[in-house]
Amino acid sequence: MRLYRALLRLYPRSFRHEYGVEMAAIFAARRREAGSIPARLAVWISALVEIAGNAARVHADLLRQDAVQVARLFARAPGFVLTAVAIVGLGIGATTAAFSVTDYVLFRPLPFPDAGQLVRLWESRPGYGHMELSPANMRDWMARQSSFTAMDVYTSTAANVTGTGDPRRVSGALTGVTLFDVLGVSPARGRGFIAADGVLEAPPVVILSYAFWQTRYGGAEVIGRVIRLDDVPHEIVGVMPASFAFPSRQTEFWLPLRLSPEAFQDRNDNFLVGVARLRDDVTIDRARDDLGRVTAQLEAEHPAENRQAGANVERLRDGFSDETRNLVIALIGAAACLLVITCVNLVNLLLARVMARRTELVVRAAMGAGRERLVRQLTTETVALAAVGGLVGLGVASAAVPLFSSLVPVSLPFATPPHLDWRVLAFAAALTLATGLATGILPLLGPRQADFTILREGGRGGGGARERVRAGLVTVSLVSSVVLLVGGGLLLRAIWAVQSIDPGFRTDGVLTMRTALPVPKYADTERRIRWITDVVDGIRAIPGVRNAAYTSFLPMVMGGGIWPVVMDGDEVARQQGQVASLRFVTPGYFDTLGIPLLQGRDVSARDTLDQPAVAVVSRAFAERYWPGEPALGRRFTFAFTEREVVGVVGDIRVRGFEEPSEPQVYLSAAQQPGDSLSFYMPKDLAVRVEAGGDTVIPAVRRVIAQADADQPISDVRWMSDVVAGETASRVVQFRVIAAFAGVALLLAGVGIHGLLAYVVSQRHREIGVRMALGAQRSEILAMVMRRAAWLAVAGVGAGVIIGYGAGRSLESVLAGVPANDPATYLTAALVVALVALAGALVPALRATRVDPVRAMRAE
Amino acid sequence: MASASDVDDLLPLPTATFHILMALADGERHGYAIIRDVADRTGGRVRLSAGTLYRTIQRLLEQGLIVEVAERPAPELDDERRRYYRLLPFGREVAEAETLRLSQLVRLARARGLAPGRS
């Protein structure tokens, strides 16, 4: 019998209370009648089956009843419903959008089998955690490691695709022939790379990304067809699946990595990134120890080149910066704040309604509806409200997700940007349900039983406890507003701080674009320089153009490209501040970018291969190596050749505003021998134009097309946009948090208004009495405003403390703005206090207009 | 007196509901007596489970077809005090309407030659 009674718990409590005893009695009678053991067993089995079925049906009956109630409620109070739905929609929408980004960056598994075992391998040197590997070090790591079941390497590349249609620049990767096996992915069509593809003399082959295959060939059969990459015909041997995006979403083709024996000579030619699969029994820490042992051996064997060279093992899943992680965490934190505020406001709204509906509730209670039935009905209402709100939220989220996408690093190997998929939808659904349940149950917690009595008596005294609950909720939303305002304020200060940094070059009126010259077509120095000279001269002749020049990489477009410096035959250790960035430039580059020439001269057209090698160095370079002495005429060896300093220019921010940049060395483009150092071949064009120079873009394109019709032009941008890109993710972040803060403030203001309006209506009579006894209107006003002030003080006080915690966690993205920046806190506190008082103003004024005679007669 | 549309809204009645109304047609009964009555009348073919019974009773109470009368001992069960139910006029009206509906249905079927025992 005990078991049967336990099973009855499957029924709703009200039903069980009503009929449980009777049902148990019937069951007992049945069992008695059954007699034999098999018959009793049959009674038990049928009881089990029927309880399961009927309990579900009884629950459904109740739900149906409640649904009818909800429909009535919605029809009766459309204003309330609209407000509630809008509030919930905002909260769920913002949180869902933030979650879609957070999930994408932090949680979603990578689209590889057993992706948790995949790691990325970097070389580390003091000051540099993520250096590529040289082929020789890579080979030795592979041979000596004992932590991985497989390991291979890749490096990024790009190529000009010519043939049908406009020439186009596409990104790709050079991969070791086993890289796809390490990742555990096979091509969707054709074959992957085989060992023979990695041989230096093998015929050129390429594997295309699914997207590239679709856009260029419309999905037609391509295996065996030929595509021209950098003017070299490549046979297409495979197409990767649509979900494959490695190393990044932008990768459109893969070539087999082919290394000549010479490539293994120089351990300082670092360009390979390692990818490996951990053995099942090896932790990432053990793999680090293992590679640490290998790098220590290599340092001992090659002390000059591998000095202080360590290994950095990272999970492939963690392939993004701490800054990205912090931005995403701040985003979801802000969204959570907003969600709390929306829930708080919904609860507040419901509390007000519960009070307004007390007659209905009293009647229902009197008719024998137990507490469980009331909770159930209110919860059905809030879940229904939340469900509608959740739908609105999905709309909000689908609009917001693309906005948030710019916060996501493209370097994560997902084929698609963040979007609303089933994971996100499930999250939104769970959030909706949780919101509905929490807001349905919360208003009924606390001094519940006492309240019921009060409800029945229709008394006045019940306000106190309720008021305290509501005051608490309003305080929570004030606190959240302060936290969001502090976060947003700190970010804004950080943006200002970053934008006020002088990059060292001019950003306005400089048009940039990339024309990457293909090798072998432009492998010959003379041919290359002739082409560049033709283009630059042609562009300079365009009206409105002041100057134009080429460089290997524009600042902030590419931050790397660093080389060790050899001074008097000794290589200076590869440490931060002791290496320099290498750029080949054509004459006029410094003038075009407005980089000041401090001493000596620019590189000139006469600095050709048959002349002594020259270099223009930045001020930091000169001060680092020849402090207090003239730098002109000094010699040093850089990129294999001894060079003489002919000029000193100002320092620029190559790596962007926030990372420290290495000193700069500029070499004459005409002194780059053949196709060596081809990575540094001049490809970025800078054109300085007079005001309103947009019109020159077509003319520049014409000049380049005239010089070589097959030459693609990519990345046409203004330098000011490149620089703005440095703070773009911050700006998006700030806008999002500012929007959240705005909504939070609004809701907090509404919450205060609602609370005080309620308080004033509850104390209508008291106020009337006070006024009859001679209280001044100003005293009444002060009485109400004092309440608002207390709420504001409590909210702001707690908000500042929590805001400081949030600020501390943001510190790494604050660009040096201190997390305790007093102006930010003061402003946030003031704004919230003002909103609180503004929200209180209307109810307070209403209180002063209470007519004492009418107020007292009303009772 | 209930309007015709109130009655029609409830038709057709689920089998269990109809049986329970029938069991209450000739007097007050408690739950277990209803189950037994239904079983006896149908020769054991319809055996209501306790859950179905009380779920239906709850609905019939809400819809105003039956009413609960004061608890009193049930000598044929265990002599404990049990809840007895009585058919209300509205309930009788609904049961009669359902009977009419079913007999009309049977007549229609017969007219089409669908009676058992004939070809």
List, as one string, the DSSP characters of A166-224. Answer: S-EEEEEEEE-TTHHHHHT---SEE----GGGGSTTSPPEEEE-HHHHHHHHTT---TT
Q: What is the mean pLDDT of residues A84-103?
A: 84
Amino acid (one-letter) located at A398: S
Q: Is the pLDDT of residue A408 over 80?
A: no
pLDDT at position A459 is: 42
Q: For A126-166, write each residue's pLDDT tens digit.
A: 878 888 899 999 999 999 999 999 999 999 888 888 776 67
pLDDT at position A779 is: 86
Q: What is the mean pLDDT of residues A349-354?
A: 72
Q: Which residue of B has its CA nearest to A54?
A: B51
Residue contact A58–B51, C-beta within 8 A: yes
CB of B19 less than 8 A from some CB of A: no
Q: How far apart are the C-alpha atoms of A781 and A290, rounded to whole Å?
A: 74
Residue contact B78–A29, C-beta within 8 A: yes
Which residues in B lie closer than 8 A to residue A10 (C-beta atoms)? none
**Best-predicted range by mean pLDDT among A341-345, A490-494, A729-733, B77-81?**
A490-494
**Testing the interface with A: which of B17, B30, B32, B79 to mutate, by most A Cβ within 10 A?**
B32
Cα dihedral A715, A716, A718, A723, rounded to 10, equals 0
A631 within 8 A of A644, measured Cβ to Cβ: no
Q: For B27-61, write each residue's pLDDT tens digit.
A: 888 888 888 889 888 888 888 888 888 889 988 88
Q: What is the mean pLDDT of residues A105-134?
A: 88
Q: Which residue has the higher pLDDT, A401 or A147?
A: A147
Q: Which of B61, B53, B17 shows the shortest CA–CA distance to A367?
A: B61
Q: Which of A238-247, A603-612, A615-624, B32-41 bottoms out in mean pLDDT, i.e. has the lowest?
A: B32-41
SS3 (DSSP) at B87: strand
pLDDT at position A450 is: 41
Q: What is the mean pLDDT of residues A430-450?
A: 68
Q: What is the mean pLDDT of residues A554-566?
A: 85
Residue contact A46–B82, C-beta within 8 A: no
Residue A366: band (very low, low, confident or very high) from pLDDT cuts 50, 70, 90: low
Residue contact A23–B50, C-beta within 8 A: yes
Which residues in B lie closer than 8 A to residue A11 (C-beta atoms)? 51
Q: Is the pLDDT of residue A575 over 80?
A: no
pLDDT at position A286 is: 94
Q: Is the pLDDT of residue A574 over 60?
A: no
List, as one string, the DSSP characters of A249-278. Answer: TT--EEEE----GGGGT-TT---BEEEEEE
Pair of tokens at residue A814: 């604050």
Q: Which residue of B has its CA nearest to A64?
A: B59
**Best-predicted range by mean pLDDT among A52-56, A294-298, A423-427, A456-460?**
A294-298
CB of A262 less than 8 A from some CB of B: no
**Testing the interface with B: which of A16, A21, A26, A32 to mutate, by most B Cβ within 10 A?**
A26
Residue contact B82–A25, C-beta within 8 A: yes
**Testing the interface with B: which of A11, A19, A364 to mutate, by most B Cβ within 10 A?**
A19
- Residue A542 CB partners (closer than 8 Å, separation 6+): A696, A699, A700, A703
Q: For A643-698, write each residue's pLDDT tens digit.
A: 999 999 999 999 888 778 889 999 999 999 888 888 898 999 999 998 777 788 88
Q: Which residue has the higher pLDDT, A752 or A629?
A: A629
Residue contact A53–B78, C-beta within 8 A: no
ipTM for the predicted complex: 0.81
Residue contact B54–A51, C-beta within 8 A: no
CB of A54 less than 8 A from some CB of B: yes
CB of B36 less than 8 A from some CB of A: no
CB of B51 less than 8 A from some CB of A: yes
- Residue B116 CB partners (closer than 8 Å, separation 6+): none
Write b or e for each residue in B105-114: b if 16 or more Cβ atoms lie within 10 A of its Cβ, otherwise e: eeeeeeeeee
Q: Which residue of A has its CA nearest to B83?
A: A22
Q: Nearest CB to B82: which of A22, A57, A58?
A: A22
Cα A787 versus chain centre, distance: 41
3-state per-residue secondary structure call for A601-654? CCCCCCCCCCCCCEEEEEHHHHHHHCCCCCCCCCEEEECCEEEEEEEEECCCCC
pLDDT at position A577 is: 52
Q: Which residue of A has its CA nearest to B80?
A: A25
Which residues in A lie closer than 8 A to residue B55 (C-beta atoms)? 15, 54, 57-58, 61
- Beta-strand pair A253-256/A168-175: parallel
Closest CA of chain A from B23, distance in Å: 17
Cα separation values, A152 from A118, A142, A175, Å: 11, 8, 8
Which residues in A lie closer than 8 A to residue B53 (C-beta atoms)? 26
Residue contact B58–A15, C-beta within 8 A: yes
Q: What is the mean pLDDT of residues A14-29?
A: 82
Residue A768: band (very low, low, confident or very high) from pLDDT cuts 50, 70, 90: confident
Report H helices in A406-462.
422-441, 448-457
Cα dihedral A722, A726, A732, A734, rounded to 10, equals -140
Closest CA of chain A from B102, distance in Å: 26
**Testing the interface with A: which of B48, B54, B59, B78 to mutate, by most A Cβ within 10 A?**
B54
pLDDT at position A858 is: 58
Largest CA distance in chain A: 115
Q: Which residue of B has its CA nearest to A11?
A: B51
pLDDT at position A278 is: 94
pLDDT at position B79 is: 66
Q: What is the mean pLDDT of residues A375-396?
A: 83
Which residues in A lie closer than 8 A to residue B79 (C-beta atoms)? none
Q: Is the pLDDT of residue A515 over 80?
A: yes
CB of B80 less than 8 A from some CB of A: yes
pLDDT at position A364 is: 66
Q: What is the mean pLDDT of residues A385-390?
A: 86
Q: Is the pLDDT of residue A434 over 90?
A: no
pLDDT at position A448 is: 46
Residue A464: band (very low, low, confident or very high) from pLDDT cuts 50, 70, 90: low
Q: Which segments within A300-445 are labelled E, that is strand? A: 310-315
Q: For A196-210, write each residue's pLDDT tens digit.
A: 999 988 999 999 999
Q: Which residue of B has its CA nearest to A24?
A: B50
Residue contact B51–A51, C-beta within 8 A: yes
pLDDT at position A449 is: 45
Q: Which helix (H) or strand (E) holds A572?
A: none
Q: What is the mean pLDDT of residues A323-334?
A: 80
Pair of tokens at residue A202: 């093998």
Write b or e for each residue in A287-310: b if 16 or more Cβ atoms lie within 10 A of its Cβ, otherwise e: bbebbeebbeebbeebeebbeebb
SS3 (DSSP) at A808: helix
SS3 (DSSP) at A162: strand
List, as one string, the DSSP characters of A840-858. Answer: HHHHHHHHHT--HHHHHHT
Q: Nearest CB to B78: which of A23, A25, A57?
A: A25
Q: Is the pLDDT of residue A463 over 60?
A: no
CB of B81 less than 8 A from some CB of A: no
Q: Nearest CB to A50: which of B31, B49, B59?
A: B49
- Own/partner contacts of A299-303, CB < 8 Å, gap of 24 or more, are A302/A267
Q: How far apart are the C-alpha atoms of A662 and A653, rounded to whole Å?
A: 9
Q: Which residue has the higher pLDDT, A497 or A454?
A: A497
A638 within 8 A of A670, measured Cβ to Cβ: no
Q: Which residue of B has its CA nearest to A45?
A: B49
CB of A766 less than 8 A from some CB of B: no
Residue A727: band (very low, low, confident or very high) from pLDDT cuts 50, 70, 90: confident
Q: Which of A223-237, A432-446, A610-624, A672-686 bottoms out in mean pLDDT, i.e. has the lowest?
A: A432-446
Residue A527: band (very low, low, confident or very high) from pLDDT cuts 50, 70, 90: very high
Helix, strand, coil shares of chain A as percentages rounded to 5? 55, 15, 30
Pair of tokens at residue B48: 């209501």
Query: In this complex, how many residue pairs, one in chain A and one in chain B, have their CB atoms less than 8 Å apart?
Result: 57
Q: Which of A599-613, A621-635, A738-752, B99-113 bottoms out in mean pLDDT, i.e. has the lowest?
A: A738-752
CB of A19 less than 8 A from some CB of B: yes
Q: How far apart are the C-alpha atoms of B82 and A789, rounded to whole Å?
A: 61
CB of A406 less than 8 A from some CB of B: no
Tell me the pLDDT of chain A averaged across its residues.
84
pLDDT at position A370 is: 65
Q: Which residue has the higher pLDDT, A422 or B95?
A: B95
Q: Which of A328, A159, A333, A154 shows the shortest CA–CA distance to A245?
A: A154
Q: For A774-816, write each residue's pLDDT tens digit.
A: 888 888 888 888 888 888 899 899 999 999 988 888 787 777 8
SS3 (DSSP) at B51: helix
Q: Which of B39, B35, B37, B72 shows the shortest CA–CA distance to B54?
A: B35
Full-model pTM? 0.67
